[in-house]
Amino acid sequence: MSSSDPERATRRWRLDLAYDGRAFSGFAYQPRLETVAGALRAVLARTLRLESEPVIVGAGRTDAGVHALHQVVHVDLPAQPRTRGALEPDRLVTSLNAQLRGRVHVLAATPVEDTFHARFSATWRAYRYLVCVDGPRLDALDALCWSVPGPLDLATMNAAATATLGSHDFRSFCRRAPRSAPEDPITRLVHEARWRVVADPFDLVAQGRFVRLDIRAQSFCHTMVRSLVSTMVAIGQGRLAPDTVASRLEAPGRDRLPAPAPPAGLALVAVGYDGPAS
């Protein structure tokens, strides 16, 4: 608990979230745009009758259109709220979800130590990217996956995914941060990257199939997963050489690489705080 003044004392809370990225201009708060953090700030301020909206800190900043099945944030809230019982965890979750109406879903609300930091305490993040191969072009599919023509050589794509394992300079696959130089490395540590065929329980693609990239790393840079996906799909289609990912990790450069895959196929699925998951 911070602050010695009882009226200003706060307690840190961890909120676990899921959200539909189509409704938002990304996760991070932007004053004139609808974002996940902005929506959560507004409902917390309204629920707890706060004088100003609280600051939301997320484990990762998902881009516009990217979904989350399990995002983690922290927020400092009054230790003594004006509304009696408002910070009982179950009541808080129920109240927030009723107001967020399915755009964002709060999975859990847990008081934590002030030393917990949603971003800096995290030791890994896991994403998945869903691709629909030879399926019909339907809005329902485009909201959740990237529809591409096949066939795809999954073995070749997995060889490319394996090349990302370990610590590498991902400049070829990341959007450069402002005020950084082209020669500055963008080093990331990848723990897992694997393509697999996944089930289609609703028979949405009777003539096709779903394939998914599961990738887990200590952290990710901007557009890293989507850029890797588009490159690996091009490899699987035979449009790029099988060693393209490996060679661009050795000699960074974005020339002649495809644009990042669409955001709707991407979802943040887990955040870890206890070392890399096995």
Burial 51-87 (b: 16+ CB within 10 A, else e): eebbebbbbbbbbebbbbbbbbbbbbbbbebeeeebb
Q: CA-based Rg of the chain, rounded to a whole angstrom?
A: 21
Give catalytic residue positions.
Answer: 63
Task: Round to whole Å and give the CA distance between 190 and 263.
Answer: 20
Of 62, 80, 79, the residue nearest 71 (C-alpha): 62
* 151 prior amide bond cis, ω within 30: yes
Helix/strand/coil for 120: coil
Dig out the tokens for 96 from the structure: 């927030």
Task: Round to whole Å and give the CA distance between 200 and 75.
Answer: 38
Positive or negative, the CA dihedral 96, 98, 104, 110 is positive
